[in-house]
Amino acid sequence: MKLDVQVSGRNVAKLYRERDEYVLKYLPGVDTDAFVSLTMPVREEAWRWPRDLHPFFRQNLPEGFLLGIIREEFGPLLDGTDLSLLAVVGGMGVGRVTVTPEGVEPGTNLDPLQIEELLSAENTSEHFARLVRQYARASISGVVPKFLAPQESMSGLDESLPLGKPTLRTAHHIVKGSDDNTPFLGFNEFYSMKVLERLQVVPVAGSRMSDDGRVLIVERFEVDAHGVPTHGLEDACGLLGLPPHEKYATTTEKLLHATRAYLPSDQVRVQMEQFGWHLLTNYVVRNADCHAKNVALYYSSLKDVRYTPVYDIVTTQAYSRFASSPPALSVSGRKTWAPGKTLEQFFNARLGIAPRQYAEMVERLCESAVVVGNEVIEAAKNEPRWRNVAKNMVHAWNDGMSSLRSPKRTTLFSGLDVPIADAGFSDPEPPVLSKEKLGTSELLARPRRKR
């Protein structure tokens, strides 16, 4: 089997298997700006990877629930290799690169998804499963149920007028649902992301939450207003040469090194600050699932490489099954929510952010967490179904703020103790004693042993 690889819709390379290797071979005369991956620039010699697909092509392969659906729907087209899986889903990937069977044009005709109806629907597990099955032919990673969907036609709207908040300009979105382990995940992620978003200090992926709090619709930031991809996108997992199931098998230092290497020199300072804001937010809201696939670069050319807008920030500690999980990636060899001076020293030595600026960043995030925390509490008053997850979220944020603020100055700053008490919230639910933690799910392959 041979696959065609396109960059912005133009064939640039062939992808195939040769004995025990996967091979990417650029076509003659391809322009250097039409590179498939930052790690595989245009050259005459083929790019070879032993045993498995090149990490770049594996970054968006479906996982978990979506992978199971695709196996059910397209089983006859799959031969057990990632190459055949990519042949099925690669024509609708994220970013400027598409992959299709040889001679097949990219793109799949799907009925448009009516976003407004989805936002107001009762998104039960059964309803969302039907949608995932309908739009299964999409290349997007992640264990939590989600899919890409074409937007319903916007005919009749005056495109020259600024669009209001209810209208999404992109032709495609990432639609994320909840499951039994993470109820009301849309509610959780929407408000967790808002802690950073409201500061307007770095780009954050735009999102909308469904009325029932179960679904989050995220705007794709690598496409234009018509849904045409404008940027390439590569996550740190692929840049590190790791397969997706080893997204936890690295460190924050290695992740930073792998991504910083591609940043233009005039962008380094700004991008290091963005990396710092992202990292600190995870500590404030207690997101234990920021792994190597949740930090990525995007680019329009080699001279325009940046970190993507921040995405996938969730208060994992709000779910008792994952409440005892430490940060996904270590900092200075430590995985702890009480980093002491370790985090401040990392910012100073690795990001060029002095202690005074670090302290200011921490406090701005904490102040934002207090404001958004009160919004979470108010939302839970209006919708009783959210009360439990909201309670666990604000307790987690309170702990996150306390662990980063200086113990000598904690009494000088506001927290969420009073709003929590006024809301009549009980203590957070204790962690469920389970062998499963984030990064060690039975759904994920075990890390390979080092030889």
Give the pair of three-digit tokens for residue 366: 């904490």
CB atoms within 10 A of CB 78: 15
Integer-rounded Cα Rg, in Å, for the chain is: 22
Answer yes or no: is pLDDT of 445 > 50: no
Round to whole Å and give the CA distance between 295 and 278: 9
What residues have CB less than 8 Å from 266, skipping those under 6 apart?
A: none
pLDDT at 163: 25
Mean pLDDT for 32-36 is 95
Q: Residue 189: which region, alpha, beta or left (left: phi > 0; alpha: psi -120 to 50)?
A: alpha
What confidence tier does 170 reach under pLDDT thresholds 50, 70, 90? Answer: very low
Give the pair of three-digit tokens for residue 326: 């430490």
Answer yes or no: is pLDDT of 126 > 70: no
Torsion angle in degrees (nearest 10) through CA of 31, 32, 37, 38: -170
Judged by DSSP in three states, 95 sits in coil
Instruction: Please classify residue 70 by burial: count the beta carbons closer than 10 Å to its beta carbon, then call 0-12 exposed, 13-18 middle and 19+ buried.
Output: buried
What residues have CB less than 8 Å from 366, skipping those under 6 apart?
A: 284, 401, 404, 405, 413, 415
pLDDT at 107: 62
The more confidently predicted of residues 165 and 96 is 96
Round to whole Å and give the CA distance between 32 and 12: 10
Does residue 335 belong to any structural domain of this protein?
Answer: yes
What residues have CB less than 8 Å from 408, skipping those under 6 apart?
A: none
N- to C-terminal Cα separation, the chain: 31
Mean pLDDT for 236-254 is 94
Residues 422 and 273 occupy one common structural domain: yes
Mean pLDDT for 325-335 is 96
Answer yes or no: is pLDDT of 6 > 70: yes
Closest to 389 in 3D by CA, of 213, 146, 217: 213
What confidence tier does 154 reach under pLDDT thresholds 50, 70, 90? Answer: very low
Closest to 203 in 3D by CA, of 312, 361, 309: 309
The percentage of the chain sitting over the pLDDT mark of 70, rounded to a whole number, equals 76
What confidence tier does 44 reach under pLDDT thresholds 50, 70, 90? Answer: very high
Backbone angles phi, psi at 228, to 5 degrees: -85, 125
Give the DSSP per-residue string, 255-306.
HHHHHHTTS-GGGHHHHHHHHHHHHHHHHHHT-TT--TTSSEEEEEETTEEE
Round to whole Å and give the CA distance between 328 and 336: 10
The more confidently predicted of residues 95 and 61 is 95
Query: Which of 57-71, 174-188, 201-215, 406-420 shows the lowest per-residue confidence on average (mean pLDDT)?
Result: 57-71
Query: Which of 160-169, 217-226, 319-328, 347-356 shows the lowest per-residue confidence on average (mean pLDDT)?
Result: 160-169
Does residue 175 belong to any structural domain of this protein?
Answer: no
Give the rounded distance of the alpha carbon of 352 from its chain centre: 25
pLDDT at 105: 78
Mean pLDDT for 43-65 is 87
Does residue 142 belong to any structural domain of this protein?
Answer: no
Segments forming the whole domain that contains residue 27: 2-55+72-101
Does residue 172 belong to any structural domain of this protein?
Answer: no
pLDDT at 89: 75
Q: pLDDT per residue over 406-434, tens digit each?
A: 766 555 567 899 999 999 999 998 888 65
Answer yes or no: is pLDDT of 191 > 70: yes
Does residue 138 belong to any structural domain of this protein?
Answer: no
Count up the domains in the chain and report the number: 2
What confidence tier does 166 reach under pLDDT thresholds 50, 70, 90? Answer: very low
Residues 255 and 398 occupy one common structural domain: yes
CATH code for position 297 = 1.10.1070
Mean pLDDT for 223-251 is 91
Q: pLDDT per residue over 178-189, tens digit each?
A: 878 889 999 999
Does residue 94 belong to any structural domain of this protein?
Answer: yes
Query: CB–CB of 35/28 below 8 Å?
Result: no
Residues 384 and 241 occupy one common structural domain: yes
pLDDT at 150: 53
Q: How high is the mean pLDDT of the chain?
A: 82
Element (H, E) at 129: helix 125-134
Mean pLDDT for 218-222 is 89
Query: CB–CB of 318/393 below 8 Å?
Result: yes
Answer yes or no: is pLDDT of 113 > 90: no
Does residue 82 belong to any structural domain of this protein?
Answer: yes
Answer yes or no: is pLDDT of 312 > 80: yes
Does residue 109 belong to any structural domain of this protein?
Answer: no
Closest to 167 in 3D by CA, of 154, 149, 186: 154
